[in-house]
Structure 1
């Protein structure tokens, strides 16, 4: 998980270790101390990466009434958020290719190379737009 997150999302490996732990831990809400102990990380490194994960909406932070400790849990919308960000990137590249085709001139070899890229990205954007969202967690079809 650490290397996957580092390669796919460009985050430090420890962020991937945190996310991996939070996906499988019991109970699903963990304190920073519990997470640090489970993955063998320093609290300072953990704090930096928890901030990164919470700002990216992978993890949410909660407190409990009467306690000063914060607890962390994988956000229910984390995976949809990841996919939507990727989809926005695909759409952005599709639009960039379309702009490039207009600049290169219709029918030119340069425009044709851009059209091939545009068409693949357009297909992926349309495919996601037309595909129904999976059922909510805990609900079976």
Structure 2
């Protein structure tokens, strides 16, 4: 595992919650401190929409109809939350508070973040960890990032 530089910004998140942590320690002995916590109130799709899926009429003469998939409002909410987090990260990087950036998130969230990042933000990423540690305590996140068992 690469070392975590002093003052590095560590973002641990998923589609519902994001923790912004800062390494107040040094590279050898990191000390992650919580700076900000973002939470997304995103209820399940069944609670967000009640419309039935639409239908498509392929041909008037043939009389064929097919159903359209229902909109996954929960998934849309998670992508919006990822874009919100990405814009917060971009503000921090542009203000000089995120020269070294570490992202910890499940694959779908990492993908959504990557798609929303400006090239300046991508240049400051030193490590991406494909894991959901959002519900883990900070000391456990430190263990995962440093490789300590």
Answer yes or no: same fold by TM over 0.5: no
Q: Which has the higher strand share?
A: 2
Q: Which structure features the higher share of helix residues?
A: 1
Q: TM-score, normalised by structure 2?
A: 0.28
